[in-house]
Amino acid sequence: MDPYVYDNSTILINKLNIKDEQQLIDIEAQLLIAGLIDIDTIIEDINFDHYHSLQTIHHFLFETLYTWAGDFRTINIYKSEKVLNGLSITYCDHTKIQHDLQYIFNWAKQVTWSHQNPQLPSLFSKLMTDIWRVHPYREGNTRTVSIFMKLFAEKHDLSFNAELLSQNAGYLRNALVMAAVEEAPEDSYLQKIIVDALTSHHTDTSIQSTAQVKEKYEKIGNYHVAHYEEKPFETNKDKNR
């Protein structure tokens, strides 16, 4: 049983008592835009060397809607992915979230986050994937991780085109799914967009039309991400088989 949703539904219990799925999605999107506009107001409260930074960001983005904003999930979750032929990523067990995040952040502190580091794109992609695979929250993980990476890049004086990621959200999420597969990860899709985001300060991206950019990030393998539809997480793994 999922304590985060209303009885006999997949709709998250929320402070506004919205029980229409599309309306909740729309409100979330509006609040996210507002949060992004004001995100600089919490920069001084963020310690990028500690996983508490993720909690600060998630709480800021979702406190208007959810009582558990900023709190790690207390259940295990699964989601059927079309790009994985209906299988789910094996997300971190909810009892190990803090342990796994601490390990990731300890690793990140040993990395030289600089454009002079030739491994920067792969390291940046690894950090993003590792945090995303933990999936510390019941909902809002991809948005929280994306914003964290934007702020993390700014903290380390990295030129990073975060707008490229937000404009291609369907591609980004499916690229993260492919990169997070434990048995045989495929990170080339994620690295492609991360390389472009990190190197955009070296190139004149204005020569690329919107259509060219859209075409570049429209497919993951044979799956057209433009057709991506967000589905709710499940707590029963058997539903994804």
pLDDT tens sequence for the chain (241 residues): 899 999 999 999 999 999 999 999 999 999 888 888 899 899 998 999 999 999 999 999 999 999 999 999 999 999 999 899 999 999 999 999 999 999 999 999 999 999 999 999 999 999 999 999 999 999 999 999 999 999 999 999 999 999 999 889 999 999 999 999 988 899 999 999 999 999 865 444 444 556 677 788 998 988 888 766 666 788 865 444 3
Which residues share a beta bridge with 223? 220
Q: Where are the alpha helices (DSSP H) in 135-209?
A: 141-155, 162-167, 169-180, 188-199
State the residue for tokens 């406190």: 63
| Cα dihedral 187, 190, 195, 200 in deg (nearest 10) | 180
Q: What angle do CA 33, 74, 128 make, to 5 degrees?
A: 50
- Which structural domains are found in the chain, ordered by start? 21-240 (1.10.3290.10)
